[in-house]
């Protein structure tokens, strides 16, 4: 598997993780600590996804030259 293929797989996995975290119930009965952890997880996933997207574009640019 090439590095680009691995990045594509990682992007898909992180996007799926974001969707799962976003679908978690968000009702008033959730503990504040859980809400904070959930938001922190979403933030972490989004930052990692942004890094992967940049890396994918870098790899694509390198293969075009």
What's the whole-model pTM score? 0.83
Q: Are 42 and 23 in contact (CB under 8 A)?
A: no
Q: Are 21 and 41 in contact (CB under 8 A)?
A: yes
pLDDT at residue 26 in the model: 67
Query: Which tens digits make up the pLDDT trace of 7-65?
Result: 999 999 999 999 988 887 766 666 888 888 889 999 999 999 999 999 999 999 998 87
């Amino acid at each position: 598997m090439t590095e680009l293929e691995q990045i594509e797989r990682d992007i898909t996995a992180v996007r799926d993780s974001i969707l799962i975290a976003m679908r978690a119930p968000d009702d008033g009965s959730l503990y504040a600590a859980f809400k904070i952890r959930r938001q922190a997880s979403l933030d972490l996933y989004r930052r990692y996804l942004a890094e992967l997207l940049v890396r994918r574009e870098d790899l694509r640019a390198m293969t075009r030259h």
